[in-house]
């Protein structure tokens, strides 16, 4: 199924996307979660339990990104 929304302004299309997303988010139990994603979440949880030290702060992450980009 495909629809043509080119007759709508950009603002109207953005609003349409927001409304559509809100209608999906209203029933999160209806959104299927792929098995690979559940497995990845379980892997990350197990890793976190085995390595409970805190992760990087947002400032540290930003600094690493800036350093990689040469800024």
The answer to whether 31 and 24 are in contact (CB under 8 A) is: yes
pTM, 2 dp = 0.50
Dihedral angle sign, alpha carbons of residues 58, 61, 65, 66: positive
Reduced to 3 states (helix: H, G, I; strand: E, B; else coil), residue 1 is: coil
Looking from the CA of 10 toward its CB, the CA atoms found within 13 Å total: 0
- The residue ranges of every structural domain in the chain are 10-68
* Residue pLDDT tens, the chain, 71 long: 889 999 999 999 999 999 999 999 999 999 999 999 999 999 999 999 999 888 899 999 999 999 998 76
- d(CA 3, CA 18) in angstroms, rounded, equals 17
Residue 13, number of CB atoms within 10 A of its CB: 13
């Amino acid at each position: 199924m495909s629809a043509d929304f080119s007759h709508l302004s950009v603002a109207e299309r953005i609003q349409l996307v927001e409304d559509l997303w809100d209608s999906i988010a209203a029933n999160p139990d209806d959104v299927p979660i792929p098995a690979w994603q559940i497995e990845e979440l379980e892997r990350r949880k197990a890793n976190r339990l085995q390595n409970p030290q805190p992760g990087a702060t947002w400032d540290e992450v930003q600094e690493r990104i800036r350093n990689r980009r040469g800024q």
